Amino acid sequence: NPVYGSIQKLHTRNTDLITLCEDKVLKVLTNKDALFNADGKANVTSNNMVLGQATPYSGNYGISTNPESFAATPGQLYFADITRGQVLALSREGVRSISDLGMKDYFTDLLRDYADVAIGSYDQKKKEYNINIGKRFTKSQIQPEYTTITYSERAKGWVSLKSFTPEQGLSLNNEYYTFKNGQLYIHHDNTTRNNFYGTQYDSTVTVVFNDMPESVKSFGALNYEGTQARITQFTTANATAYNTSGGSSTVTFNDSEYYNLDAKTGWYVESIVTNKQ
């Protein structure tokens, strides 16, 4: 149907041909056809000569003009509809929006203006869908500004912002590969964390929590379990103490601890921000 826009992507799944148009996603029967009786019931017959009936999935979503956002897994198909500001997943149940899972406003703002390219890839080892969205603010801008975001099938939500910006990616034999400047890279293969394409990045964690938003809380401390925390070295401090007779003396302060004799690098909390400052 021409009202669905042009066909941007074809994907074979079992004996069906998934057809992703600009404004709609359809399933086309292959190697079989549906013959309809007078009562409207369909009888499926074997036919490898022609394509069968085209059945649209529910939901007014398509893949826009960004077939590069498509990534296939054994159970899901992922793609982006930039025109409608949505990132979508297609399963047996139909098309559903995964960008609405706690990130609706974020993706609406990210995809609303200047979004030009959306590169999708699937990390089979971590079972994550990585989408790399590039923005061009002017027609003369050669290199887009990229943001890579990760959706986890296990967590059923968006779990991370990634530092790497691949040109394309794919999984093969449970290994995840990406391309950068025409070179092929393998992920999860070294012991250095957050190092991509020869560039070292910093790792940060942003925690969002509020069990009772109607209750204003006072946080005295934040604890966590994990690897080495940052330790600031304690330095002995001297101060002047005055007595009742007007005399003075020098007092040396020491916390009498042993763990902070030397400074150590590690995890630390930089700031805590609430909406009730």
**Rg of the Cα atoms in the chain:** 28
Regarding pTM above 0.75, the answer is: no
Side-chain half-sphere of 53: how many Cα atoms within 13 Å?
Answer: 12
Give residue 170's pLDDT band: very low, low, confident or very high (50, 70, 90). Answer: very high
Query: What is the arithmetic mean of pLDDT over 256-260?
Result: 82
pLDDT tens per residue, range 77-118: 999 999 999 999 998 778 999 999 988 888 988 888 888 899
Q: At 218, list the tokens.
A: 């006072």
More confident: 62 or 251: 62
Q: At 191, list the tokens.
A: 């012991």
Between CA 181 and CA 148 the distance in angstroms is 17
Query: What is the arithmetic mean of pLDDT over 177-191?
Result: 91
pLDDT tens per residue, range 238-257: 888 888 877 888 888 777 78
Q: Give the per-residue SS3 of the chain.
A: CHHHCCEEEEEEECCEEEEEECCCEEEEECCEEEEECCCCCEEEEECCCCCCCEEECCCCCCCCCCHHHCEECCCCEEEEEHHHCEEEEEECCEEEECCCCCCHHHHHHHHHCCEEEEEEEEECCCCEEEEEEEECCCCCCCCCEEEEEEEECCCCEEEEEECCCCCEEEEECCEEEEEECCEEEECCCCCCCCEECCEECCCCCCCCCCCCCCCCCCCCCCCCCCCCECECCCCCEEEEEECCCCCEEEEEECCCCCCCCCCECCECCCCCCCCCC
Query: What is the arithmetic mean of pLDDT over 49-77?
Result: 87
User: Would you state the pLDDT for residue 10?
Assistant: 94
Decide: 80 and 131 in contact? Cβ < 8 Å: yes
CA-based nearest residue to 155, from 193, 121, 126, 122: 126
